[in-house]
Chains A and B, each alone.
Chain A
Amino acid sequence: MIEILYNILFDYTLRTVALGAGVLGIVSGILGSYAVLRKQSLLGDTISHAALPGIALAFLFTGSKSVLLILTGAALAGWVATLLMISIIRTTRIKEDSALGLVLSVFFGFGLVLLTYIQKLPNATQAGLEKFLFGQAATLLAEDVLVMAILSLVILALVLLFWKEFKLLSFDEDFGATVGFPMRSIDILLTSLLVVAIVIGLQTVGVVLMSAMIVAPAAAARQWTNRLGIMIALSALFGAIAGIGGAIISSLTSKLPTGPTIVLCISAIVLLSLFLAPARGLVWQWIQQSRNRHNFHLDAVLLDLYALAQQHRDRLHGHHAAVLKTMNLKQSAVNRCLRELKTQGLVRQISRDLWGLTEAGLQQAESLANTQGGAA
């Protein structure tokens, strides 16, 4: 443990990679929240694949491998792909899913053509573009991380500046347009930020897995809260944990690629959230369901007793548990339910097998019978 801490602080590679992955996790967590809320989870997949030809073209035209330049190329390609996709959806009857897949695969294919073309150029400096395919976090340099961090700060500032507008866009675009916000421009701004966020992560996790970094932190955060601010903060936190955690785990084990490890980390967080998140999580749902079922049994027994009581002059007269058992679908639970009703003060045990309603029980049963349309 101390050794890990020591390494993070003093090992150049690990520190750089962990920082880079952390920054990437934060940015993709923030922008991913909007993407997931706006039902654009797979847009990230398309943008990241579509960035490939941009990377290759940036290199082809400038011959430089400067990170900023290549990221600009990637962002431009991702942006063009998004616009093309939107125009296909708007102007033809091709649906969103087809447009996404079409743009994704064609751009990626074209990117491959360019990459293989570059590889065959008689130019020694070309190697290294492949790292964008699967990501090679180990090749991150301190200045790369600096570029990533500055871009992230810009994104963060813009998100805070346009907080209200982006919120409106995510939840009620039509209302926003009605009260006079330029929703089209806001949409373009947010999508552009998403493109930049994706491009930031390409070098670390690669085009194929970047989509997971957009969807997963946001999907996990969504389970814990219904408030946008908290969701975005949580999403950024999850992204950062997965990024840094994945970087550390992969550095501790030999031959464990960073990108996939980060993706598995964030997926584990998603799984945990799906099960454990309060109110929405599956475990909580199960508990709630079994509690409902139990209450339903209690009510059923109480109502049965009430039905019996109505046939008797003395409403509080005792009846046999055996009779109640014949009336109830789940016979084994009757005794248990009676005992619990007794602790609630709704029934009283007259003798070993004889049970009757109390005054409180009678009132409760009457109101139940009324609300349930006289189930007895």
Chain B
Amino acid sequence: MTTPQLEIQLIAAVVAVACALPGVFLILRRMAMMSDAISHAILFGIVLAFFITEDITSPLLILGAALTGVLTVSLVEALHSTRLVREDAAIGLVFPVLFSIGVILISRYAGNVHLDTDAVLLGELAFAPFDRLYIGNYDIGPKSLYVMSAILLLNIVLIALFYKELKLASFDVGLSAALGFSPMLLHYGLMTQVSLTAVGAFDAVGSILVVALMIAPPATAYLLTSRLSLMLIFSSMIGIVSAISGYWLAHLLDVNIAGAMATMTGVIFVMTYLLAPRRGLIAVGRRKIRQRWQFAQRMLVVHLLHHLGLPEESQECHTGTVHQHLKWEKKFAGKVARMAEKEGLIFQKDGLLRLTDKGLETAQQAMM
């Protein structure tokens, strides 16, 4: 592995974690699509700031673009508050406008500078190691690594400081407002954080990958755990794994790195969606099947209890006829009886199904 390769993976991993952390709260607060809007709209901010500073590397660029992110959020809120359009429509109306203005500005005035829509939208991580940071004459590493590390650190510090508040506001908006935490302040704080992260990441990986890294790893983690702290850790780890595996996928096929990373977040999500221990499709399917048999066993023991010691017992509870009374297929009834016997709920005597003590208890419980 060469140094640039290592550096690219390092940058990718840092970006992934920096995006995943605020992403968790976006998912929980049902504002995932806001990241899409912000990441598109900051194109406008970047272009505008570029015209003012005329320097693509200026830190003002990041600030200007982050402000556009906040502007997007405020415009969406303002539009939604007129109650003339729904919130999703408001999002869908605002960001294309800002994005369009950005594209028009670029193609009209910035045709020959290093600022084109492809780079902004798609990113080119492969070039990130060429833009180095120097102290004096000493090369201390790629610049975007430092920028993203700073943003990551900021995200970690902010989440650590306001962990309790963010948690409360994500799960119980009403209570958090009643306790005096301003929902507006938290909302805009989080949105500023998302904008800042998006702007920083977007230079390296492009705006669409920002969305992928903000949403896919937290959504995957959401299938694995119900604890906020674990969700933050899992989504960071999933982010890192997708970043590095995505890099190697891109290396192997010689394709766009950001795209490959987004693809890997998707692959990991689909695998989790199928295989997650409790919420995966397979686990849910198996649970449903098990519940179906359990329910049938319950029906059987309740039926047996119902006719226990009564004259018709020999008819109702006979292995040969019980399925008719339960309106079951004979094969199904046989299987249920065998399962219940294995579970120690019933036993057979003289062709009659009889309840064990455990079966009696289960039946009585089911009747309650």
- Give A contacts to B, CB under 8 Å: 36, 39-42, 44-45, 49, 88, 91-102, 104-117, 120, 130, 133-134, 208-209, 211-212, 214-216, 219, 222-223, 255-257, 259-261, 263-264, 267, 270, 274, 280-282
Contact call A113/B212, Cβ cutoff below 8 A = no
Expressed in whole angstroms, the minimum distance between the Cβ of A223 and any Cβ of chain B is 6
Contact call A215/B118, Cβ cutoff below 8 A = no
Contact call A216/B215, Cβ cutoff below 8 A = no
B92 within 8 A of partner (CB): yes
Closest 9 CB pairs of A and B: A109-B262, A112-B259, A106-B266, A212-B96, A260-B100, A105-B212, A215-B92, A113-B259, A105-B211
Contact call A91/B33, Cβ cutoff below 8 A = no
When C-beta atoms are compared, the residue in chain B nearest to A273 turns out to be B84
B308 within 8 A of partner (CB): no
> In the complex, A112→B257 CA distance in Å?
9
The DSSP consensus for interface residues of chain A is helix
B279 proximity list for chain A (CB < 8 A): 92-93
B247 within 8 A of partner (CB): no
Contact call A110/B103, Cβ cutoff below 8 A = no
Expressed in whole angstroms, the minimum distance between the Cβ of A114 and any Cβ of chain B is 8
When C-beta atoms are compared, the residue in chain B nearest to A267 turns out to be B97
B263 proximity list for chain A (CB < 8 A): 106, 109-110, 113
> In the complex, A209→B33 CA distance in Å?
15
B259 proximity list for chain A (CB < 8 A): 108-113, 115-116
B213-228 residues with Cβ-Cβ distance < 8 A to A are 214-216, 218-219, 222-223
Which of B175-183, B192-200, B248-256, B324-332 sits within the interface? B248-256
Contact call A219/B258, Cβ cutoff below 8 A = no
Task: Given A101-B211, A113-B260, A211-B92, verify A274-B82 contact (CB < 8 Å).
Answer: yes
- Give B contacts to A, CB under 8 Å: 27, 30-33, 35-36, 40, 79, 82, 84-86, 88-89, 91-93, 96-97, 99-101, 103-104, 107-108, 111, 117-118, 121-122, 208-209, 211-212, 214-216, 218-219, 222-223, 249-250, 253-256, 258-263, 265-266, 269, 273, 279, 281, 284
A93 proximity list for chain B (CB < 8 A): 222-223, 279
B93 proximity list for chain A (CB < 8 A): 212, 215-216, 219, 267, 270
Expressed in whole angstroms, the minimum distance between the Cβ of B296 and any Cβ of chain A is 24
Contact call B265/A106, Cβ cutoff below 8 A = yes
With contacts A219-B89, A256-B104 known, what are 16 further pairs, Cβ within 8 A? A41-B88, A92-B279, A97-B30, A98-B27, A98-B219, A101-B36, A102-B269, A105-B262, A106-B216, A106-B269, A109-B259, A112-B208, A133-B121, A208-B96, A260-B100, A264-B104
When C-beta atoms are compared, the residue in chain A nearest to B261 turns out to be A109
Q: Pick the contact of B209: A109, A114, A267, A270 (CB < 8 A).
A: A109
Contact call B254/A120, Cβ cutoff below 8 A = yes
When C-beta atoms are compared, the residue in chain A nearest to B94 turns out to be A267
> In the complex, A248→B88 CA distance in Å?
30
When C-beta atoms are compared, the residue in chain B nearest to A214 turns out to be B92
Q: Pick the contact of B262: A110, A261, A280 (CB < 8 A).
A: A110
B31 proximity list for chain A (CB < 8 A): 97
Q: Pick the contact of A264: B101, B215, B218 (CB < 8 A).
A: B101
> In the complex, A267→B269 CA distance in Å?
36
When C-beta atoms are compared, the residue in chain B nearest to A45 turns out to be B92
Q: Pick the contact of B91: A36, A41, A88, A257 (CB < 8 A).
A: A41
- Of A115, A211, A215, the most chain B CB neighbours within 10 A belong to A215
Expressed in whole angstroms, the minimum distance between the Cβ of B119 and any Cβ of chain A is 12
Contact call B92/A101, Cβ cutoff below 8 A = no
Q: Pick the contact of B36: A45, A214, A261, A270 (CB < 8 A).
A: A45
Expressed in whole angstroms, the minimum distance between the Cβ of A189 and any Cβ of chain B is 22
Q: Pick the contact of B100: A111, A130, A209 (CB < 8 A).
A: A209
> In the complex, A96→B32 CA distance in Å?
9
> In the complex, A175→B211 CA distance in Å?
37
A111 proximity list for chain B (CB < 8 A): 259
B121 proximity list for chain A (CB < 8 A): 133, 208
When C-beta atoms are compared, the residue in chain B nearest to A100 turns out to be B33
B27 proximity list for chain A (CB < 8 A): 94-95, 98
Q: Pick the contact of A42: B40, B88, B108 (CB < 8 A).
A: B88
When C-beta atoms are compared, the residue in chain B nearest to A210 turns out to be B96
> In the complex, A113→B250 CA distance in Å?
8
Expressed in whole angstroms, the minimum distance between the Cβ of A194 and any Cβ of chain B is 13
> In the complex, A96→B30 CA distance in Å?
8
Contact call A101/B32, Cβ cutoff below 8 A = yes
Expressed in whole angstroms, the minimum distance between the Cβ of A57 and any Cβ of chain B is 13
Contact call A267/B96, Cβ cutoff below 8 A = yes
| 10 residue pairs bridging A and B, Cβ less than 8 Å apart | A41-B86, A45-B33, A97-B32, A105-B208, A105-B216, A116-B256, A133-B121, A215-B89, A255-B108, A259-B100
